[in-house]
Amino acid sequence: MISSKKMRALEINSEALGVPTLLLMENAGRNIRDEIIKRFNPEGLKVKVFVGHGGKGGDGLVAARHLAGDGAEVEVFLFGENKHKDAALNLNAIEEMDYSVKITEVKDISQLSPVQTDVLIDAMLGTGFSGKPREPFATAIKVFNESKGFKVSIDVPSGVDPDTGGAPGEYVNPDLIVTFHDLKPGLQRFSEKTVVKKIGIPKEAEIYVGPGDVVINIRKRDYRAKKGDNGRILIIGGSHTFSGAPTLSALAALRTGADLVYVASPEETARIIAGFSPDLISIKLKGRNISKENLEELRPWVDRADVVVIGPGMGMEPETVEASRVIVDYLKSLNKPAVIDADALKANAGRELYPNVVITPHAGEFKIFFGETVKESIRERVKQVIDAAKRCKCTVLLKGYVDVVSNGSEFRLNKTGNPALAIGGTGDTLTGIVATFMAQRIDPYTSAYMGVFVNSLAGSIAYQKLGEHLVATDIVDHIPEVLNNPVEAFKNKVYKRIIKD
């Protein structure tokens, strides 16, 4: 099954991969025509098409065009202006078919009354609909149901919620539903009347993370939002040697949209981090390195945070390794959403984690944590990561020339990176991005695959401008460009990697 939200993502991803939505609409409308002529001789067939707004209306116009071409007598009822770009193109075509298609513009519901015909096509309210139908559609649906003829609904019956099956107002009661790509959850109660037809969405639109995944998941800030509503993130990291890694994670989190980012580091390191940016809140922990004695200082900050990042730049001093394990135990006791990365990942090697965690190993860290070498074959690597996620009971984001993400049952791939992303610090920016999505109440698995897409695409935009001379802060600078317009940003992807294994 597929939700309406995911279906929208696939359509956007398809377009980004070179399969335009206009072609998907053409295939959808043609499938409607095919299902009708399986049941009726089209020559002289009387067909009435009720056309609403959006893509579903466009599907109905395509079906009308094909049926008229087959010899049917077609009348199209238009309910208002359709601003969907593909539907508008198909309406232009129908308007030019003034010999074979009759068009009736419904400007007032008083024009509507039940009709007697051979076939009625419901192309009114589609997968973007929820709630009670408003006029003119409430009356149009009632008239549609009262009309005599074989009734066909495109994708979902108008008035029915595609995800829940709920229908609080008027809804079409069809004889046949032709839905696309996969069954919508709301159609389960209509399963005996429903056929599922493919419309040309490539498999890669589901496998590879694309701009559609970002479009459907990024929420706009509410005008009434207050500080903290869009995420409080605590980053535990840094050591007397490393101060850059936790800073990069924090800056990336802020650019992704977190409201507040706290960085907890040993006191000398924390002072250095505070000097990077006035936007960062620096927490000064006692000692030269993070140790288990710092847990009491960290507890109130951990409790306050929506998501905790642990690992960037922590180092592998014996006292820090012990602290990493103790802190992760505390996070687990709270079921706190967390991203475990870098040195904390190594310190917790082989341990069972929990579903609210994302880990982000590169090949070397994967070997340390799971005790096995990453496979060369991408297909074998997918199986390996799925199995690894099952074992650690968390989401695994394996970084590489093709990134692999799995929660133990599903997987996604990302191929929007470039060679320059092999520089230091890009994994730290990734961690901050993933943590911010989690803080904005996006589930860990989705946050992980969206995060690696955004991080890589921001790097690709920088690569287009700077070549192989980019640094990790260049990724931070380009995160807003990806989030503001992921479809346009996707055009900057650098390499199309072909999986040949």
Q: How confident is the model at residue 495 (pLDDT cuts 50, 70, 90)?
A: low
Q: In the block, which residue shows the tokens 């997968």? A: 127
pLDDT one-digit tens code per residue, 47-82: 999 999 899 999 999 999 999 999 999 999 999 888
Domain span at 28: 4-207
Does 184 show up as a binding residue in the annotation? no
Which pLDDT does position 129 carry in this prediction? 86
pLDDT at 419: 82
pLDDT at site 498: 57
- Angle at which helices 21-39 and 85-96 pack, to 10 degrees? 50
Q: Are 240 and 91 contained in the same domain?
A: no
pLDDT of residue 499 exceeding 70, the answer is no
- Residue 237, annotated ligand binder? no
Summarize the confidence of residues 463-492 as an average pLDDT.
Answer: 92
The reply to whether 482 falls in a domain is yes
Cα distance between residue 14 and residue 21, in whole Å: 7
* CA dihedral sign of residues 389, 391, 394, 399: negative
Residue 224 has φ and ψ, to the nearest 5°, of -95, 10
Supply the CATH number for residue 194's domain: 3.40.50.10260
- Cβ 397 vs Cβ 359: under 8 Å: yes
Q: Is 139 annotated as a binding residue?
A: no
What is the per-residue pLDDT for 443?
A: 97
pLDDT in tens, 407-436: 999 999 999 888 888 888 999 999 999 999
- Please check if 270 is assigned to a binding site: no
Query: 129 among the known binding-site residues?
Result: yes
> What pLDDT, on a 0 to 100 scale, did the predictor assign at position 355?
97
Instruction: Dig out the tokens for 241 from the structure.
Output: 């040697």
pLDDT band at 315 (very low <50, low <70, confident <90, very high): very high
Tens digits of residue pLDDT in 99-146: 999 999 999 999 999 999 999 999 999 988 888 999 999 999 999 999
426 appears as a binding residue in the annotation: no
Residues 170 and 234 in one domain: no
Q: Are residues 89 and 172 in the same domain?
A: yes
**Higher-pLDDT residue of 37, 491:** 37
pLDDT given at position 500: 61
Mean pLDDT, all residues of the chain: 94
Could you tell me the maximum CA-CA distance found in the chain, to the nearest angstrom? 87
Distances (CA, A) of 202 to 12, 15, 22, 110, 449: 12, 10, 14, 44, 19
Is residue 313 part of an annotated ligand binding site? yes
pLDDT tens-digit readout, 255-287: 999 999 999 999 888 888 888 888 889 999 999
Evaluate whether residue 407 is within a structural domain: yes
Q: Are 196 and 244 found together in one domain?
A: no
**Which residues, listed in sequence order, are joined to residue 247 by a DSSP beta bridge?**
none
pLDDT at 356 over 80: yes
Distance CA(444)–CA(185), nearest Å, equals: 23
- Bin 489: left if φ > 0, else alpha if -120 < ψ < 50, else beta: alpha
490 is in an annotated binding site: no
Q: pLDDT tier at 501 (50, 70, 90 boundaries)?
A: low
Strands (E), 278-368: 281-285, 307-310, 338-340, 357-359
Number of domains observed in the structure of the chain? 2
In a domain, 177, yes or no: yes
The pLDDT value recorded for residue 224 is 79
Q: Average pLDDT in the 288-315 region?
A: 95
Q: What are the Cα distances from residue 413, in Å, to 313, 370, 486?
A: 27, 20, 17
Q: What is the pLDDT of residue 496?
A: 56
94 and 199 share one domain? yes
Q: Is 362 annotated as a binding residue?
A: yes
Residue 245, annotated ligand binder?
Answer: yes
Residue 34 has pLDDT above 60, yes or no: yes
498 domain residue, yes or no: no
- 155 annotated binding-site participant: yes
What is the domain-level CATH number for residue 387? 3.40.1190.20
Residue 222 lies in a domain: no
This prediction's pTM: 0.93
Residue 415 lies in a domain: yes
Whether 410 maps to a domain, the answer reads: yes
